[in-house]
Structure 1
């Protein structure tokens, strides 16, 4: 197998994440005006409801499959056998998810008003399983799934403007959403034969596979509870206004987090492969590169978002959402902690088969987050929810780091890694200075935002180069090579 470029993979996965973020940004302002409030309510409830069953069908298989499958990808017979077993487990979980879904639709009469919309969204359960994107991740092939994402996102936007015309069209909107999310997964299922040949099998090594899959699944459930509890508790203790304000800051925070995590996702199969093959020296080199690269990017992203919180809220939302500015400034710190917590869990602990420690740390953090919400929300409202998220993300980062301290110690405490962190902090001071000067120098929202962004990037890059930062020089060399190839 040809060795894929991590840089190209990061770009492709980042592009796919940008598309996934921009689709709702383009569609929601339109549908919120066309559809009725009740129609949007049915749509949102049905979509959220189905996500629980998608979680059951997924069963933590994707994470486990990438870790284990990466070891076998160079052995055709072993990878075919492994994929056949995992796909068979996935199909069984999918059938169970559908059985539970249909049982709830029969038992709970409150759901009868949502049945049509729920059934449309339920197509995502089967097509997510058939999509087998974890196989593409094992083989680090992001080009195909990125290209088909672009095509299906564009097709979905066109269909939305053509077909969704009146308040009763929420079912059409649901179908278009399904098309956008998983419409191309049947093509994935056919195209994946390029890599492996698999089938449904009864010869599955349940004893070997099931325990780690269920542990990862339990972690996913804990994360879901952890992520959802903030909004739920805020709604219970305060009101819909507080939830609306907090949701705005969270949406912006998640956009920045998703873009940065896309760069991380592409390294997971490579690290799992190297660890599985016991190529520890190469593993440490890649992990060091990941830590240093994200160290250069995560800190300025968080600081920049903190400095431009007001401008970002005004551009993405509107004046009526200005109360979310302080909440956004607080939660932006969580970007730093969450990304490094994810590195320690998905790039170190899971490849090292320490998913039980990931589960323990996630459960402890989820409980901590819930308790903090009940303590902070009565006094600080949505700002308290943001603060609880920051504290929880910091906690899980420390716990995950401690759980893999024996692995990461040679990487974290390298001279280059510590220098890289110091360089980033000094560079962030430059970003703060630039943003403050632009705030005083411009009255126009657009000009202030553009100049703050452009000059911050220039200032940050210049500081890193002056400090002889190796990552900055590496990025500069790549940019020169790209420019020469274009000229």
Structure 2
């Protein structure tokens, strides 16, 4: 691929990330103020339940077939065959899962909210999600355009159709509709270039035994990993703690906004960590990977402490006084950013890439066991706060196990002092924002700007050498 195409793809992906952030920043506060916490809790419960069926229906196809398409993207017949085969499999699975969902889930929980009946549509529409194929073909500019169109359309829909607390179903159906529009735009793009079969013909497509075995292996890993996030929501919904679930869901929305702020830059840095080879001298490899992990922490610390310090301002300002209970939850969830950043680095970029998927399966399995056990014990006792603690314990376990398996690739002891200095800089930043908050001589934007300036100043004083190294690291990664 030419440098020009790489540049276009990077820009397209960055634009999509920015659009997603801006959409969440504008749409969710609007919807949250109208629907109130209990309705948000109902929506989160339904989404968590149907997500398991969508994950089962996906069957690891995006991961497996996406790799096949990426390897043969210039072969029209191979790509067409892969698309037809796996679209047919997705549709077959969707029809079976809809029946199972209507028999095993809807009768038991449909009385809680009518959304359970409407959520059946999600299982079917998700089968047409071929976005992964365009990603494998690296057609990111088209995907960016399609995503922007669908998000703009959804925003207009929300502003015009969701006006009262009774518009919960209207909101839910709008989310389904515009995601489906995004999927269909991707399908049209593929149909215009490749010979993708549709209608009843696609249901006759079959996959061979070897492909099915590979799918099963990938599916188990995807299912375990995808099951973790929804467990606390399912437990809270089962206990009818919908108001508290709405508060937790709101805090999680702002947490993800904070996390995705560092995702584009961390992706650039992490891409460089994949380049080391087995013949590289061990000490050089240690320095290389330890420096990458430290760079990620340097990005994650200000976002973490910034969310903790500004939660009391951000929540009431954006979603209103009904969600003040989300303030403490956001503070409790914010340290997860550091765990996510390190786990992403240690598990996906090091352990999975150089030790295979066994360690990753063990890590995810232990994480699933932790979240189930901690949720069942803590949520009936502490409600949403118990769910936040459960998330922290789960991802702490999922961070520790890959570190153990990948310790031969990094030592981290050489940068412990720099990690400590980075954390101190974050704490000083947080304390300064709290001081400004108490004296009330600056608005939210001023507090954030001042906090970032203080963090950078303290970091520069403590870690002058590492700051220069970080900038050099980033420049080198950008060039690659």
TM surpasses 0.5:
yes
Q: Whole-Å Cα distance in 2 between the matches of residues 379 and 329 of structure 1?
A: 19
2:386 to 372, 384, 394: 384
Pick one of 401, 404, 407 that aligns with 1:402: 404
Whether 1:451 and 2:446 are equivalent positions in the alignment is yes
CA 1:45–1:374: 2 relative to 1, 3 Å: closer
Aligned to 2:315: 313
Long gaps (5+) in structure 2: none
Instruction: Answer whether contact 1:69 1:83 (CA < 8 A) is retained.
Output: no
2:154 corresponds to which of 153, 156, 179: 156
Cα deviation per residue 1:201-236 (whole Å; 9 max; x = unaligned)?
Answer: 9685542x4444333322333334322222343456
Deviations 1:92-147 (A, max 9, x none): 0332122220354367773596687245434522331xxx3223433555333223
- The Cα shift of 1:25 comes to 0.8
Alignment pair present for 1:442 and 2:440: yes
| Distance in 1 of aligned mates of 2:223 and 2:383 | 26
Report the equivalent of 1:252: 254
| 2:55/2:226 contact within 8 Å kept | no
- 1:52 corresponds in structure 2 to 52
Supply the distance in 1 between the matched residues of 2:290 and 2:139 (Cα, whole angstroms).
23
Determine the C-alpha separation between the residues in 1 that align with 2:172 and 2:380. 36
Structure 1 residues 474, 250: CA separation in 2 closer, same or farther (over 3 Å shift)?
Answer: same
Alignment counterpart, residue 343 of structure 2, candidates 338, 341, 361: 341
Alpha-carbon contact 1:54-1:125 (below 8 Å) kept: yes
Q: Give distance in 2, aligned partners of 1:106 and 1:380.
A: 32
Counterpart for residue 231 of structure 1? 233
Is this contact kept in 1: 2:359–2:405, CA < 8 A?
yes
The alpha-carbon deviation at position 395 of structure 1 amounts to: 1.2
* CA pair 56-294 structure 1, distance change in 2 beyond 3 A: same
- Going from structure 1 to structure 2, the CA distance change for 1:118 and 1:203 (only over 3 Å counts) comes to closer
Contact 1:293 1:471 (8 Å CA) reproduced: no
Tell me which moved more, 263-272 or 351-360: 263-272
* Mapped partners of 2:166, 2:326: distance in 1: 32
Q: Describe the shift of the 1:267–1:460 C-alpha distance in structure 2 as closer, same or farther (beyond 3 A).
A: closer
Q: Structure 1 residues 420 and 98, CA, compared in 2 at 3 Å: closer, same or farther?
A: farther
- For 1:442 and 1:115, locate their aligned partners in 2 and report how far apart those are by CA, in whole Å: 46
In structure 2, what is the equivalent of residue 121 of structure 1? 122
- Cα deviation code 1:138-166 (max 9, x no counterpart): 35553332232222211222234445567
User: Which secondary structure state, in structure 2, belongs to the residue aligned with residue 184 of structure 1?
Assistant: helix
* Partners of 1:367 and 1:299 in 2: CA distance: 28
For residues 264-310 of structure 1, give each alpha carbon's deviation from its aligned partner in whole angstroms, at most 9, with x where no partner exists. 567889988x69xx7987xx799778635422211111111122222
**d(CA) in 2 for partners of 1:193 and 1:349?**
37
8 Å contact 2:379–2:386 — kept in the other structure?
Answer: yes
Residue 16 (structure 1) shift:
4.2
2:97 to 96, 100, 121: 100
Post-superposition offset of 1:14: 2.6
Cα 1:31–1:376, aligned 2, differ >3 Å: closer, same or farther?
A: closer
Unaligned runs of 5+ in 1: 479-487
Contact 1:306 / 1:329 at 8 angstroms: preserved in 2?
yes
For residue 28 of structure 2, what is the aligned residue in structure 1? 25
Q: Does the 8 A contact of 2:429 with 2:455 survive in 1? A: yes
Q: How far is the alpha carbon of 1:178 from its aligned partner?
A: 2.4
What is the CA–CA distance in structure 2 between the aligned matches of 1:359 and 1:251, rounded to whole Å?
27
2:365 — aligned with what?
363
Secondary structure in 2 matching 1:127: coil
Return the alpha-carbon distance in structure 1 between the equivalents of residues 42 and 380 of structure 2.
30
Q: Compared with structure 1, are the counterparts of its residues 124 and 46 closer, same or farther at alpha carbon in structure 2 (3 Å cutoff)? A: farther
TM-score (norm 1): 0.76
CA, structure 1 residues 244+170, in 2 after alignment: closer, same or farther (shift >3 Å)?
A: closer
Bigger shift: 96-105 or 374-383? Answer: 374-383
Q: Distance in 1 between matches of 2:185 and 2:381?
A: 51
Aligned match of 2:174: 176
**Aligned 1:275-314 pairs, distance under 5 A:** 291-314=293-316
Is contact 1:311-1:449 (8 Å) kept? yes
Quote how far apart the aligned CAs of 1:454 are. Answer: 0.2
**Mean Cα displacement is larger for which, 448-457 or 80-89?**
80-89
Contact 2:60 2:222 in 1 (8 A): yes
Q: In 1, Cα distance between the equivalents of 2:406 and 2:82?
A: 30
Q: Structure 1 residue 82: deviation in Å? A: 6.4
Alignment of 1:91 with 2:93, yes or no, is no
Q: Is the 8 A contact 2:66 2:133 kept in 1?
A: yes
- TM-score, structure 2 as length reference: 0.77
Q: Distance in 2 between matches of 1:7 and 1:421?
A: 30
